[in-house]
Structure 1
Amino acid sequence: MALNTLKDIYIDQMQDIYSACKQSKSATLKLVEQATDEDLRHALKAGVVGIDKGMETLEGIIKAHGADPEGEFCKGMEGLVKEVEAHVIDATFGDDAAKDAMIITQYQRMAHYAIAGYGCCKAFAKRLSLDEDAHKLDKCLEASYEGDETMTEIATGTRGINAEAA
C-alpha cells in the first residue's frame, strides 16, 4: 500500500498496532505462566483481556475504513517478543522476585510500544476529523496507560517486587 496521505498512514499504523497486539498477547500469555507473584499474574491476565479489547476496537475501525486488520506485520513488536523469549522464557533466575521484576520490565516495554502507537493513531484520527475513531483509540490508550501504571505499582509499591528482588 502506498502511503500518500495521512489517511494511508493512519490505516497502516493501526494495522501495525493490531499486529503488535496479536504478538504481545502471545508473549503475555507466556509471561502469565512464568510469573510467581499472584498480583503480577492477575495484572498480566488483565493485560491479556485489555489486549483483546484493543484488537477488537482496532479491527472494527480498520474494517470500517475498508482495510484488512492483518495488512501489516509489526517488526518492532517482533523484536520485543524476542526480548521476552531471551530475558524471561529462556533465562535462568536464582530468585523468583528477580524473575518477576524482569517480567514486569518486558511487559512494560511492550505496553510502551502500544502507548506510542495508540497515541499517534489518535492524533491522526483527530487531524482527519474522525472523532469517533479518536474517542475509541483514546480508550485503548488509557487502558494501556493503566496497565503500565499497574505494573509500576506492583514493581515499586510498598511490597514491591523490586524491593524483594534487591
Structure 2
Amino acid sequence: MAKANAKAAPKKAPVKQMNDTSEKDPMLKEFFSEELKDIYWAEKHLTKVLPKMAKAATSQELKNAFTEHLEVTKTHISRLEQVFELLNQKPQAKKCDAMEGITKEGDSIIEDTEAGTATRDVGLILAGQKAEHYEIATYGGLAQLARTLQLDEAAEILESTLAEEKEADTILTEIAEENINYSAASEGSEEDE
C-alpha cells in the first residue's frame, strides 16, 4: 500500500503544476492587463513629448526622427487598443511613473543645455533612447507574457511594436554616431583658444 501511495502522489502533483495553470492565469492576465494600461499611458504621453523634443532639436535629421517616431507612436497606441479589444477590455491608461520620470529628465536636458547646440541634441538623443529602452523592455516582456497566456495574436501585435521600438533606438544611435556626438565634442573649443 505504501508503494501505491508513493507512486500516485508524484504523478498527480507534477501534472497539476505543469498542465493546470487555470489557478494562475487570472492573476497573470490581470498583471498583463495592468502593464498594458501602463504602456498605453506612456505611449499617449509620448505623443505630447515628441513634438517638444523635435522643436528643441538643432539637427534637422534629429527633428525628422522625432517627428517620424510621433507617427509610429500613434500606430503603437492603435495596436495597444487592438490588444485591449482581444482581451474584451476597454482601452484604459494608468499613469506610468517610469515614463513620466524619463520625460521629466528630457525636459531638464532642454532647460539645462543651450539652444542651437549639438550638445543639446546629444542630450535629446540620450533622453529618447532612455524612453526607447523602457519601451523595448516593456514590449518584450508583454509579448512573452502574451505567449505564456496563449494570446498569440496579441503577442504578434506586441512583437511588431517591439521591432519598431528597436528600430527607433538604432536610428537614434546612428544619428549620434554619424555626426552629432562629434559636433558636440568640439563645441566650446574655439572659445578656449
Query: One fold, TM greater than 0.5?
Result: yes
Gaps of 5+ in 1: none
Other-structure match for 2:54: 32
Q: How much does 1:55 deviate?
A: 0.6
Q: Which has the higher contact order (CA 8 A, sep 6+)?
A: 1
Other-structure match for 1:91: 112
Other-structure match for 1:131: 152
Q: How many percent of aligned residue pairs carry the same amino acid? A: 31
Which shows bigger deviation, 4-13 or 107-116?
A: 4-13
Partners of 1:94 and 1:140 lie apart in 2 by 32
The structure with more radius of gyration:
2
Q: TM-score w.r.t. structure 1 length?
A: 0.91
Other-structure match for 2:79: 57
Alpha-carbon contact 1:29-1:48 (below 8 Å) kept: yes
18, 27, 31: which one pairs with 1:5? Answer: 27
Q: Secondary structure at the match of 1:36?
A: coil
Other-structure match for 2:180: 161
Partners of 1:71 and 1:29 lie apart in 2 by 21
Q: TM-score w.r.t. structure 2 length?
A: 0.79
Moved beyond 2 Å, runs of 4+ = 66-71
Alpha-carbon contact 2:56-2:115 (below 8 Å) kept: no
Q: How does 1:42-81 map to 2 (within 5 A)?
A: 42-81=64-103
Deviations 1:87-111 (A, max 9, x none): 11x2232761111111101111111
Q: Secondary structure at the match of 2:91?
A: coil
Q: Please tell me the root mean square deviation across aligned C-alpha atoms, in Å.
A: 1.6
Alpha-carbon contact 2:143-2:154 (below 8 Å) kept: yes
Deviations 1:112-141 (A, max 9, x none): 111111011000001011111111110000
